[in-house]
């Protein structure tokens, strides 16, 4: 019998970054990472599963066939197959859409693989929908698509990778951080300032692999583990200034690892630096709680407490938009949950 399901899954932004994989296994992180989900930047995916003794796939984007995406998704299904009889015994029609414009440089893989993984975990029916085991299974599947996607299935800050300070943390899936987050670090927002909307020169996959022979890799992995312990303390205590310093340091460490890879590369652009400097000046002048972070690209994620939204939007318009491609920026709340839509 044919089964149909539809999920919405948010994108996420890492506060402590995953950059580099462990040897062996598929997509096992060299260090733990933590992220906020971005509930207003999401993918919506419909999956139709038909019993079949061979896993076949039709992939559509917003109703239009996209055969060029099929090898990547088939590869994902092949990685899941050893863990799921359901995947082995079905063919799939998948129709997906992102609510953010294409070609903005915003990674769609976290939301996309997150939504796909939720559909599969739901249809295979192994765990009660909405239970911890259900989200853990979805997170496990999502990781096999794109590492950082495994953090997208939780509303709470999600930790992926083994860490002594996080109970049940694992390299295989992300877990929600259960500790109480201080109210000064709840309800933050993220405005993504689009500095560059082109294809990245170096993919994340290639970037991760350059950590293999990287002169500073071991020191970076150690630092990231330490930063996870620290950021969790800052978030629980409401230590906003140390939180901001740590988040910005993580963004710069990520990009300095790129610049010191062999061969080296850069993803930040002059506009990225100009925005960072404006943010530092603004913070010095106003003392308001804002921070930047970066993912593997030139765009700047401006994180701020929702209480100061008006000042931040005004700041974006007066100082930052000149550095945004076509004046484009996209804002989201943090901490949204995935949704089952049908």
Smallest gap from Cβ 305 to ligand PMV, in A, equals: 22
d(C-alpha 86, C-alpha 81), whole Å: 8
Binding region for ligand PMV (CB under 6 A) out of 17-25, 64-72, 116-124, 311-319 = 17-25
Cβ partners under 8 Å of residue 208, min gap 6: 19, 20, 21, 147
Q: Residue 31 interacts with ligand PMV (CB under 6 A)?
A: no
Question: 202: which 2 tokens?
Answer: 């170096």
Least distance in angstroms from the C-beta of 295 to ligand PMV: 4
Least distance between ligand PMV and beta carbon 170 (Å): 16
Minimum CB–partner distance for residue 244 and ligand PMV (Å): 18
The distance of closest approach from Cβ of residue 37 to ligand PMV in the complex, given in angstroms and rounded to an integer, is 12
The token pair at 81 is 């197959």
Stretch touching ligand PMV by CB under 6 A, among 89-97, 141-149, 182-190, 270-278? 141-149
Residues 6+ apart with CB under 8 A from 269: 195, 196, 298
Task: Report the residue from 296, 298, 300, 320 that binds ligand PMV according to the rule CB under 6 A.
Answer: 296
Quick one: DSSP state of residue 319?
A: I
As measured in angstroms, the least distance from the Cβ of 283 to ligand PMV is 23
Among residues 183, 184, 138, 144, the alpha carbon closest in space to that of 158 is found at 138
Instruction: Pick one of 135, 295, 332, 336: the residue that binds ligand PMV (CB under 6 A).
Output: 295
Angstrom distance (rounded) from CA 45 to CA 95: 6
Beta-sheet pairing, 90-98 with 57-61: parallel
- The reply on whether position 18 binds ligand PMV by CB under 6 A is yes
Distance CA 314, CA 299 (A): 19
Which part of the chain contacts ligand PMV (CB under 6 A), choosing from 43-51, 144-152, 183-191, 217-225? 144-152
Helices (H) and strands (E) in the chain, counts: 9, 12
Residue 269 vs 319, nearer CB to ligand PMV: 269
CB of 16 to ligand PMV, least distance (A): 8
Q: Is 302 in the site for ligand PMV (CB under 6 A)?
A: no
Contact between 227 and ligand PMV per CB under 6 A: no
Q: How far apart are CA 58 and CA 140, in angstroms?
A: 23
Q: Looking at beta carbons only, is 129 or 206 nearer to ligand PMV?
A: 206
Residues in the chain, total: 342
CA pseudo-torsion sign 315, 320, 321, 325: negative
Q: Which residue has the tokens 């085991």?
A: 133
Nearer to ligand PMV, 39 or 109 (CB): 109
CB-facing half-sphere around the CA of 174: CA atoms within 13 A? 35
If one asks whether residue 204 binds ligand PMV (CB under 6 A), the answer comes out as: yes
Q: Is 17 in the site for ligand PMV (CB under 6 A)?
A: yes
Token pair listed for 305:
């407490």
Which of 33, 39, 104, 323 forms a contact with ligand PMV (CB under 6 A)? Answer: 33
CA dihedral (175, 178, 181, 186) in degrees, to 10, reads 50
Cβ nearer to ligand PMV, comparing 18 with 304: 18
Contact characters 86-115, ligand PMV, x per CB under 6 A: ---------------------x-x------
CA 335/CA 257 separation, integer angstroms: 28
214 makes contact with ligand PMV (CB under 6 A): no
- Out of 19, 76, 177, 234, the only residue in the binding site for ligand PMV (CB under 6 A) is 19
Q: Which residues bind ligand PMV (CB under 6 A)?
A: 14, 17-19, 33, 107, 109, 146-148, 204, 208, 254, 295-296
């Amino acid at each position: 019998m044919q089964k149909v399901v539809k999920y919405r899954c948010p994108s996420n932004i890492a506060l402590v970054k995953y950059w580099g994989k462990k040897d062996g296994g598929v997509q096992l992180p060299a260090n733990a990472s933590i992220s906020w989900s971005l509930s207003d930047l999401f993918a919506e995916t419909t999956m139709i599963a038909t019993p079949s003794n061979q896993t076949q796939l039709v992939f559509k984007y917003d109703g239009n066939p996209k055969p060029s995406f099929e090898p990547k998704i088939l590869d994902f299904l092949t990685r899941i197959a050893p863990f799921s009889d359901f995947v082995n015994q079905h063919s799939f029609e998948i129709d997906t859409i992102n609510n953010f414009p294409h070609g903005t440089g915003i990674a769609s893989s976290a939301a996309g693989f997150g939504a796909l993984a939720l559909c599969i975990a739901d249809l295979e029916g192994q765990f009660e929908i909405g239970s911890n085991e259900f989200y853990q299974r979805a997170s496990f599947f999502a990781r096999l698509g794109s590492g950082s996607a495994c953090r997208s299935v939780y509303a709470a800050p999600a930790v992926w990778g083994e860490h002594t300070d996080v109970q049940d943390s694992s390299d295989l899936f992300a877990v929600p951080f259960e500790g109480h987050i201080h109210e000064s670090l709840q309800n933050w927002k993220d405005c993504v300032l689009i500095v560059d909307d082109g294809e990245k020169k170096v993919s994340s996959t290639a970037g991760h692999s350059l950590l293999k022979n990287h002169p500073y890799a071991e020191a970076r992995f150690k630092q990231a583990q330490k930063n996870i312990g620290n950021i969790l303390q800052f978030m629980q205590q409401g230590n906003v200034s140390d939180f901001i310093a740590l988040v910005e340091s993580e963004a710069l460490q990520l990009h300095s690892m790129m610049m010191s890879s062999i061969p080296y590369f850069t993803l930040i652009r002059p506009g990225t630096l100009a925005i960072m400097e404006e943010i530092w000046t603004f913070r010095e002048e106003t003392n308001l709680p804002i921070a930047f972070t970066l993912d593997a690209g030139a765009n700047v994620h401006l994180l701020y407490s929702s209480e100061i939204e008006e000042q931040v939007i005004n700041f974006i318009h007066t100082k930052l938009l000149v550095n945004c491609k076509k004046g484009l920026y996209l804002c989201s709340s943090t901490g949204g949950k995935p949704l089952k839509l049908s």
